[in-house]
Structure 1
Amino acid sequence: MSHIRRIGRPGDLGWIVQAHGELYAAEYGFDGTFEALVARIVADFANDHDPVREAGWIAEVDGRRAGCILCVAGADAVTAKLRILLVDPVARGRGVGARLVDTCLAFAREGGYRRVTLWTNDNLVSARKLYRSRGFELVEQEPHRSFGRELVGQYWALDLDRATERG
């Protein structure tokens, strides 16, 4: 059994950083600079987020953390950013990723955001498929060398005024 809850229990933030570091190293060969990036994102969220306009969630499966996502303010008052989506392999195929993304998008709508953006890499095929299924569109991509790898970074955006809510 799985459920989604707000970030806030002791260990949640550390788990997000550790899970990203371990999983992305094992599955994509990312080095420690990726874990450091996630640590900065999590630290920024923990130290200075607006709880009315920014939130994070943990997915639990059988009482254990198995996924996460953040919704944070973007570059302007009407844009939110979806950040650090992760689903542990034990939770894949159960709709956990979709529920996390849908929770994030519902929060963005309720918070008055009109657009949600995200940055990812083209090798994250399952995540990109999920984003596309929710109406995100690829708006820009560029090759880069990060995390010890040659990658293609991608910027995606969703116009919440045009997107339909999923239940």
Structure 2
Amino acid sequence: MDERRVAIRRADRPGDLGWMVMAHGEAYDREFGWDSDFEALVARIVAEFATSHDAQREAAWIGEVDGERAGSVLLVSGDEPGVARLRILLVTPAARGLGLGTRLVEECLSFARATGYEAVVLWTNDVLASARRIYQSLGFSLVEEERHHSFGRDLVGQSWRLQLA
């Protein structure tokens, strides 16, 4: 059996950002029944990145399996000085179990350290158990939970933080 080729690259090719939006919309509808409000949120996040990111301090990555897009993540400046935000981590269902999600987050953390951030924060929902396991394995700590109704579902939002310094 051939081993699958897993690679991480910058999201700098035509179609990469649009793929992020589409892949999130499709995956979260299929897996969790989330409505198009979620895809709209991802579209706003990606559009903001596309039009106004600081290339010295913010970046986006695509994970590929056998040369095909299979995952994504963004690292952007957070609301506090010295704090970055990890956003829109996704690994497509067909690419799960290959370590792609961990590699994408590790790429973010490596970039954050090299860029001088002191901490990385993220917001997720408790139903995203695989992502949570990645965050925990890399040292993130849960700092807050809050129930909310979003994307057509009752959810529990979670804020996570990792001190880099």
TM-score by length of 2: 0.97
Instruction: Kindly provide the CA deviation profile for residues 99-129 of structure 1, in whole angstroms up to 9, marking residues without a partner as x.
Output: 0000000000001001000000000001001
Asked if 1:51 is matched to 2:84, the reply is no
User: Is 1:149 equivalent to 2:153 in the alignment?
Assistant: yes
Question: How do 1:83-162 residues align onto structure 2 when only pairs under 5 Å count?
Answer: 83-161=87-165
Please list every run of at least 4 consecutive aligned residues from structure 1 whose deviation after the TM superposition is greater than 2 angstroms.
none
Partner of 2:18 in structure 1? 14
Q: Report the equivalent of 1:23.
A: 27
**Structure 1 stretches of 5 or more lacking a match?**
162-167
Q: Hey, what's the Cα distance between the residues in 2 that align with 1:76 and 1:60?
A: 32
How many residues matched? 161
Following superposition, the deviation at residue 90 of structure 1 comes to 1.4
Hey, what does 1:66 align to over in structure 2? 70
CA distance in 2, matches of 1:136, 1:124: 15
Amino-acid identity (%): 63
CA distance in 2, matches of 1:133, 1:46: 30
Distance 1:53 1:27 in 2: 33
1:46-97 CA-partner distances (Å, limit 9, x unpaired): 0000000000000011110000000000012210000000001111111000
1:32 corresponds to: 36
Ranges in structure 2 where 5+ consecutive residues have no aligned partner = none
CA distance in 1, matches of 2:101, 2:146: 25
